[in-house]
């Protein structure tokens, strides 16, 4: 099960999975790992919450399982 998270925590965890960024590009910033690019939500407020459904989609694009996400 996924819990909502903040953009700041999303970036912190992605870095632990070996991603770099956030990198500016177009409408959204993205995180990068090799040739893989994953768009992340734009910062609107300092503590914007990313809901579980969007987080699930972001993790799917990044190839990160929910199990692995919850371990970190």
Q: What are the mean pLDDT values of the chain's consecutive 10-residue runs (72 residues total)?
A: 91 96 86 94 75 94 95 89
Name the 3-class secondary structure at 64.
coil
Sequence length of the chain is 72
All domains of the chain in start order, with CATH = 5-71 (3.30.920.30)
For residue 17, the Cα-to-chain-centroid distance in whole angstroms is: 10
User: Distances from the Cα of 31 to the Cαs of 1, 17, 57, in angstroms?
Assistant: 23, 11, 14
Residue labelled with tokens 């991603």: 19
Per-residue confidence (pLDDT) for residue 12, from 0 to 100: 95
Residue 51 forms beta bridges with which residues? none
Per-residue confidence (pLDDT) for residue 46, from 0 to 100: 60
């Amino acid at each position: 099960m996924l819990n909502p998270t903040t953009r700041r925590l999303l970036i912190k965890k992605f870095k632990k999975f070996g991603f770099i960024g956030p990198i500016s590009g177009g409408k959204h910033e993205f995180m990068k790992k090799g040739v893989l690019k994953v768009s992340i939500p734009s910062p609107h407020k300092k503590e914007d919450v990313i809901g579980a459904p969007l987080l699930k989609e972001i993790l799917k694009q990044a190839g990160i399982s929910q199990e692995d996400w919850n371990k970190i």
